[in-house]
Amino acid sequence: MANPVYILALVLGLLSESLAAINPVIYNVLDSGAKADGKTDSTAGFMKAWSAACGTTNPAIIYAPPGRYLLKNARFRGQCKNKAIRIRIEGTLVAPSDYNVIGNAGNWLLFEGADGVSIEGGFLDGQGTGLWACKTSGKTCPTGATTLGISNSKNVAINGLTSLNSQMFHIVINGCDNVKVQGVKVLASGNSPNTDGIHVQLSTRVTILNSKISTGDDCVSIGPGTSNLWIENVACGPGHGISIGSLGKDLKEAGVENVTVKTVTFKNTQNGLRIKTWARQSSGYVRGVMFQHAIMNNVQNPIVIDQNYCPNNKNCPGQVSGVKISDVTYEDIHGTSATEVAVKFDCSKTNPCHGIRMEDVNLTYKNQAAKASCANAAGTTSGLIEPTSCL
């Protein structure tokens, strides 16, 4: 017969473990030395709270109460003892007003090697307006920092976060698996340089849902090595649209495949649904893309494939793109173009686009029929197609 004391101890142990799972340990950044005055450097306080949460085997919450917290560049490294760390922000994290402090750091806030981390609520204020002005003036300036970088991580969630005035990109997801971004707002001036809303590269199983992005560059940019990406219910504008690319800058480059973009709206944007590749040799590819249920409101280039991207005519004049584009579907795309050419497929001479499918596309220009332009593109159409297809 089993020892009753042993059985009781075992039950109590299991009970305490289950209670710990139900009641996570809370680390308040104020208890770690952070100050919610927007002036005192609180970087060390946040790092101390992260180290404590990362070091416990129990689920943990890092809590930032209402207020403003000044942070310099902070690197939150993974390899934690638990895979359930929630960072609950009820205040605003503020970057230094002097853009030189973090301008060459690459990232302002970087999560590296994380597993099972969620970032919830709050505001991230990159204070990027000074750097934008510097760049516009033609002076020598720092490159600028990405506001929030998620690198080489898995099982990450970003919920209800607002990113304001990033120096460079707002959110970058790089080398990750299973990242869910939901209810995010990105806000920056329409003329702010290189302030992409969400950039994804070398990552798989990324989902972007129910978000609103207003910025000076791509609302969402999709880089090399992206697969199984799902974007749904995203509003874009101002900005440069949702772009796959630019791709093909490097000779050996990972491809992009299995991308779904659905139920999206574009208002006063430079582009709508764009695929962009450098006009130079590359092993890259784009395949298995579904653009579905999109509304265009005064968009300069609602549907565009540009395989002759060659900024400033450097390192690519006279060359053609090696990126192979195939199996791209445009379904239920409606609205207004700000230019006469609403559909433009400018594909590679040596690697023509094929398997382009258009179904129920209706785009107008100034209440009249718009135009379509095709070069080196082949595909099929069904349903109502306006402008008249050139495939």
SS3 307: strand
Phi, psi of 132 (to 5 degrees): -60, -45
* CA-to-CA separations, 301 to 33, 241, 347, in angstroms, rounded: 50, 9, 15
**Considering only CA atoms, which of 326, 325, 333, 324 is closest in space to residue 358?**
333
Helix and strand numbers (H, E) in the chain are 3, 31
**What is the DSSP secondary structure assignment for residue 83, as one 8-state letter?**
S
Contacts with 150 (C-beta within 8 Å, 6 or more apart), sequence order = 111, 114, 156, 158, 171, 172, 173, 174, 176, 179
Q: Tell me whether residue 170 is one of the annotated catalytic residues.
A: no
* Gap between the Cα atoms of 296 and 302, Å rounded: 7
Pull the structure tokens for residue 114: 């994380």
Structure tokens at 5: 């004391």
Of 170, 199, 240, 354, which one is the catalytic site residue?
240
> Are 151 and 110 within 8 A, CB to CB?
yes
Strands of the sheet containing 220-222, edge to edge, are: 74-77, 107-112, 146-151, 171-174, 198-201, 220-222, 242-247, 271-278, 301-309, 341-346, 371-375
Query: Which residues are the active-site residues?
Result: 240
